[in-house]
A and B are shown apart, each in its own frame.
Chain A
Amino acid sequence: MFSERTCAFSKNKSLMTFLSSGLLRLFAVFILLFTLTVPFPTYVLPSAGAVFEPVFIALNQWSALHLWGITGKFTPDLVSDSTGLYLHLVHLGAISLLLSLVWLRYFKNAVSDMRILYLLQLFSAYLLAFFLFKYGFEKVFKHQFYLPEPNTLFTPVGYLSQDILFWTTIGSSYSYSVFLGALELIPALLLLSRRTRLFGALLAFGVLAHVLVINLSFDISVKVLSAYLLLLSVLVLIPYRRQLIAFFWLRNTQIPPHSIASFEQPKTTVQRLLKATVAGLILFESLFLYFNTGNFNDDLAVRPRFHGAYVVTATTGNAVSPSLGSLADIQRIFIHRRGYVIIQHRDGSMQDYKAFFSGIRSRISIWHRGGKLDLAIACDTAQQKCRFSWEENRQAYVLEVRKTDLQQLPLLQPAFHLTIDDYH
């Protein structure tokens, strides 16, 4: 009995040397504040960050001007990788430091370090599980890396930025997208149970480290969030550090219990029910969109009526439109699924216009800097030919176009070659 107590004391002491009480509280406060202040769009559950966002935007604006000397144009909003979000991180860091010092000075004995570590790990594990479920399902159902849009397919690779090129590459492979999603769903599931949490956290760490490197290397603007998720996975792993060191470095078969094992008592029925409810809410929020829309494979989702790429074959009527310029200069027209019409000029440059495709009228309305333009579209589906016509200042403009079969493009061919012999 005595030896056990001595052993536990030495463990606690070594823990304190590794992770001081102050650092522990600093992380706990920071994670909680970040959670409560950064807004996230939700389908079902509330987002507290949206409530506090105006306060912190005002703080960002003040601090940018008076502390950082940022006088030029910048984005104060707390959105992905904005200047405002980086400023917010600095502010939260300072506030967390202050609060953790007050906590340490005046309320140190209110909650033991071990309990804080336990609660921080639990919070981080469920939060991480939620994000991994969310992103995992988005990949599995092909909502995140979607099939490239027609205008992207007709943009030369050299003209694409790294992030949209990465999106296009992954989006062109259904199986790889599903595989990536499964890689995130497995640790998400494992994180929910204390028995499998260590394995889940290790997997999550590997997956999220890779995600962070991708975001940094391909300049994808989710750098802060991916770094934050990686931090969460580290926080889940910290209580297991002795076990990990013993297993991987010391080759010790007598693995000691991890530092917060004493808090992980078997749950009562009520606790189990609550845990199931929380897990259910996570799944409900993660899956709501797909069940609500019935879209479980976005590659197969119905596209807008005129969605696609059109090559201009002839022009009639007036040669120069006040809104769209010289008709002879238009090489292709693309209809984007999210409500855009994109014009590709002969020199390869693109111009996008916000558009609305009426569900009950055969027309597309596009908005340009000068106002609205109503395009009437008549198609001969058998011939894959269409006519885009409109009027401006009582003058008629017509573009004769031919629709391109996107499925015939090499990138969208469902190709799998086990051997190179298949090529010839």
Chain B
Amino acid sequence: MKTTCILLLSIGFYTCGFAQTKMIAHKSHSGLPADFTLAGDDNYGNPPMHMDTLIWLSDTSIIEIMSYGYGDTPRRDTVYNHPYFSRPGISLEEIQSMYPNYTVFIGFEKQAQRQRKMKPEPQKNSLYLLGFVLLAIGGTYVFGKDLRFLKK
């Protein structure tokens, strides 16, 4: 069993090589040494896909258009109940801040206007928390007398 654990540990927690040197990646595009940052790309592998365009369809659905920027055929994907856009009261500025500044947003102005008119619904989690706090206060009040003997 120990052997098995060792085998699993050896790959489960220590996977992949060091990011291939970011320094090489930086120099590959003639980056000056003074401009080097850790935020730069790693050296190898395909470049990541970019979010070209987001099109608002309805309160529950959007279209994502992504590409590698190769002149490749862009990939379209219809997303329902996207975690970003299904948040009530979210503004266009907030949505834009989550994406690169080259991403084009189509139709989101209308959505933002609609969201402003709508009152945000109270969060379910908040309701649970409120219920729990009320229960704790009520319980302490009802059983408080019985618990007082603990102080003696």
Contacts and interface: CB of A to CB of B under 8 A. Distances in A.
Interface of A: 35-36, 40-49, 75, 77, 79-81, 115, 119, 122-123, 126-127, 130-131, 134-135, 138, 143-144, 146, 149, 151-152, 155, 161, 163-164, 167, 220-222, 225, 271, 274-275, 278, 281-282, 285, 289, 293, 295, 298, 301-305, 334, 336-340, 342, 350-352, 356-361, 365, 372
A198 B43 CA distance: 33
Given A151-B29, A167-B24, A41 B42 contact: yes
Given A144-B44, A274-B4, A359-B66, 13 more contacts: A80-B23, A126-B10, A127-B11, A149-B28, A163-B27, A278-B8, A304-B71, A305-B70, A339-B41, A342-B30, A352-B29, A357-B69, A359-B52
B7 A144 contact: no
Contacts, number: 197
Nearest to B23: A221
Contact of B45 (A143, A274, A282, A359): A143
A359 B68 contact: yes
Interface in B8-34: 8-25, 27-32
Interface in B32-49: 32, 35, 38, 41-47
B102 A302 contact: no
B137 to A, nearest CB: 37
Nearest to B12: A45
B126 interface: no
A184 to B, nearest CB: 11
Question: Interface on chain B toward A: helix, strand, loop, or mixed SS?
Answer: loop
B41 A338 contact: yes
Nearest to B1: A271
B139 interface: no
Given A336-B28, A340-B29, A42 B69 contact: no
Contacts of A130: 10-11, 14-15
8 contacts: A46-B13, A79-B19, A167-B28, A222-B20, A274-B8, A278-B7, A359-B67, A359-B70
Interface in B42-61: 42-47, 50, 52-53
Contacts of B52: 358-361
Contacts of B71: 302, 304-305, 357, 359
Contacts of A144: 20, 43-44
Given A152-B30, A360-B65, A43 B24 contact: no
B16 A41 contact: yes
Given A152-B30, A161-B27, A274-B4, A356 B69 contact: yes
B19 to A, nearest CB: 5
Contacts of B45: 143, 289, 293
A43 B74 CA distance: 23
A301 B46 contact: yes
B44 A143 contact: yes
Contacts of B8: 274, 278
A122 B9 CA distance: 11
A218 B69 CA distance: 33
Nearest to A292: B46
B122 interface: no
Contact of B24 (A35, A164, A342): A164
Nearest to A343: B30
A40 B12 contact: no
Given A278-B7, A359-B67, A359-B71, A163 B24 contact: yes
Nearest to A79: B38
B44 to A, nearest CB: 4
B152 interface: no
Contacts of A41: 16, 19, 42
